[in-house]
């Protein structure tokens, strides 16, 4: 029996109280608040389960075993720990006294069945028209930022978008904890590394990003931008590395740009605010907003193009699709769908877009010649 198989069996032994949830495809996340309080996210809703660990020592033993898989361990110096299970599920642990109730562990399960664009249409997460628009943006090598709240489906959507990348291109993926599962043949996957207990050997997103640019990528995909690496990403996007993608926490397209600005300012490099904003407006072409609704559904609620800065130096976005209630009975109950705002694409005349005109079908009205819509 190979070492990885032995480890999988050991993990199953220590995680026996929550093993049924790990095997249940309808469960997306497992939240162990205390040994005797375990919640799961099932079909988009939080449910308190009857599962229990025997005691705090049993939970601690399970945590230690999980961390061994990525060479990490429980220490007072690092009370916040990220790891993953053999199947790729992401694990985050908070130790006391940071967590006043004791050890807290959350497992974001790795999706074994990957969504695809057509499936999202069937689920009502987006429309065929939106899918075609986004696919054309990917093929035209537009830089795309996927924004949304916690557990809104940003990573899953990024997986779907990445499937539109031509198979012959070389893709470098950078993540804190490996979650993306690209289907292309030529993919290089890089993952950060925390420093050891003496503070040595740490490798950050920024380190990996700078390395990725030397690996001759056609595309660079960052699982999530959350710190000073934002400035490196922005500068790379504006210096010839087109077609990049990333995710970011934000609630609107406009807020996503402001959030990216804040993250970029964490860098040691100081730029005048106007210069930084100009770079961001030039770097990001499309912002796709994904939302988790109160009933557990997830779907796109806004697709926007980023325009040049306004005369007073502020960001400008043009919504092409927004979520709106329809006139059907379903709409009256609070449900709706993405609807075209009747605005034309701001980059419809660009060569990389026009060479794709044979693929304009549902989006011909968006990319064809016509009067520009007003920016928001």
Mean pLDDT of all residues in 339-366: 94
Residue 83 · residue 72 · CB < 8 Å: yes
- How many Å apart are CA 305 and CA 288, to the nearest integer? 9
Q: Is the pLDDT of residue 337 over 80?
A: yes
Report which secondary-structure segment, H or E, holds 340: strand 336-340
My answer on whether omega of the bond before 254 falls inside 30° of 0, hence cis, is no
Confidence tier at 150 by pLDDT (50, 70, 90): confident
- Band (pLDDT 50/70/90 cuts) for residue 167 is very high
193 confidence band (pLDDT: 50, 70, 90):
confident
pLDDT at 4: 58
Q: pLDDT tens for residues 44-102?
A: 789 999 999 999 999 999 999 888 877 777 777 778 888 888 887 889 999 999 998 99
Predicted TM-score of the model (pTM) = 0.84
In angstroms, what is the C-alpha Rg of the chain? 22
- Which domains does the chain carry? 3-108 (3.30.450.90), 117-367 (3.40.50.300)
H-helix or E-strand containing 132?
helix 128-139
Confidence of residue 336 (pLDDT cuts 50, 70, 90): confident
Q: How many helices (H) and strands (E) does the chain have?
A: 13, 15
What does the alpha-carbon distance between residue 263 and residue 246 come to, in Å, rounded to a whole number? 13
Range of lowest pLDDT (153-157, 193-197, 227-231, 351-355): 193-197
What whole-number distance in Å separates Cα of residue 129 and Cα of residue 258? 28
Give dist(CA 355, CA 94) in Å, integer: 51
Q: What is the pLDDT of residue 198?
A: 76
Predicted pLDDT of residue 373: 47
């Amino acid at each position: 029996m190979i070492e990885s198989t032995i480890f999988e069996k050991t993990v199953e032994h220590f995680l026996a109280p929550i093993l049924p949830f790990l095997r249940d495809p309808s469960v997306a996340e497992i939240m162990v608040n205390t040994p005797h309080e375990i919640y799961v996210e099932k079909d988009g809703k939080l449910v308190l389960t009857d599962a229990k660990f025997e005691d705090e020592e049993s939970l601690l033993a399970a945590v230690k075993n999980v961390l061994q898989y990525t060479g990490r361990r429980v220490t007072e110096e690092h009370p916040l720990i990220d790891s993953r299970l053999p199947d790729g599920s992401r694990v985050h642990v908070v130790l006391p006294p940071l967590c006043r109730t004791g050890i807290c562990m959350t497992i974001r399960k790795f999706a074994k069945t990957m969504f695809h664009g057509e499936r999202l249409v069937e689920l009502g997460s987006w429309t065929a028209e939106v899918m075609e628009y986004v696919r054309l943006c990917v093929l035209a090598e537009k830089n795309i930022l996927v924004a949304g709240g916690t557990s809104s489906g940003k990573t899953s959507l990024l997986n779907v978008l990445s499937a539109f990348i031509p198979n012959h291109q070389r893709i470098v993926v950078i993540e804190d904890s490996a979650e993306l599962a690209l289907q292309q043949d030529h993919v290089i996957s890089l993952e950060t590394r925390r420093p050891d207990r003496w503070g040595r050997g740490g490798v950050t997103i920024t380190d990996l990003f700078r390395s990725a640019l030397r690996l001759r990528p056609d595309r660079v995909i960052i699982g999530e931008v959350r710190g000073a690496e934002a400035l490196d990403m922005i500068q790379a996007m504006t210096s010839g590395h087109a077609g990049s993608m990333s995710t970011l926490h934000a609630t609107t397209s406009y807020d996503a740009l402001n959030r990216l600005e804040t993250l970029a300012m964490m860098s040691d490099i100081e730029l005048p605010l106007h210069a930084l904003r100009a770079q961001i407006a030039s770097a990001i072409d499309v912002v796709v907003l994904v939302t988790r609704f109160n009933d557990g559904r997830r779907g796109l609620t806004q697709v926007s193009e980023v325009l040049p800065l306004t005369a007073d130096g502020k960001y400008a976005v043009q919504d092409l699709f927004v979520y709106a209630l329809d006139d059907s009975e379903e709409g009256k109950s609070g449900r709706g769908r993405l609807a075209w705002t009747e605005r034309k694409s701001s980059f419809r005349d660009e060569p990389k877009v026009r060479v794709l005109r044979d693929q304009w079908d549902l989006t011909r009205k968006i990319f064809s010649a016509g009067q520009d819509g007003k920016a928001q």
